[in-house]
A and B are shown apart, each in its own frame.
Chain A
Amino acid sequence: AQTVTQSQPEMSVQEAETVTLSCTYDTSESNYYLFWYKQPPSRQMILVIRQEAYKQQNATENRFSVNFQKAAKSFSLKISDSQLGDTAMYFCAFMKHADGANSKLTFGKGITLSVRP
Chain B
Amino acid sequence: KAGVTQTPRYLIKTRGQQVTLSCSPISGHRSVSWYQQTPGQGLQFLFEYFSETQRNKGNFPGRFSGRQFSNSRSEMNVSTLELGDSALYLCASSLAFSGHGTYNEQFFGPGTRLTVL
Q: Show the binding face of A for B, using Cβ within 8 Å.
A: 33, 42-47, 50, 52, 91, 97, 99-110
Contact = CB atoms under 8 A, between A and B. Distances in A.
A5 B101 CA distance: 26
Contacts of B77: none
B61 interface: no
Interface of B: 31, 33, 35, 42-45, 48, 50, 55-56, 58, 88, 90, 92, 94, 96-106, 108, 110-111
B31 A103 contact: yes
Chain A contact residues, majority secondary structure? loop
Nearest to A47: B105
B90 A100 contact: no
12 contacts: A43-B88, A44-B111, A45-B108, A50-B105, A99-B101, A100-B98, A100-B99, A101-B98, A103-B33, A103-B106, A104-B56, A107-B42
A43 B105 contact: no
Contacts of A102: 55-56, 104
A4 to B, nearest CB: 9
A43 B111 contact: yes
Contacts of B48: 103-104
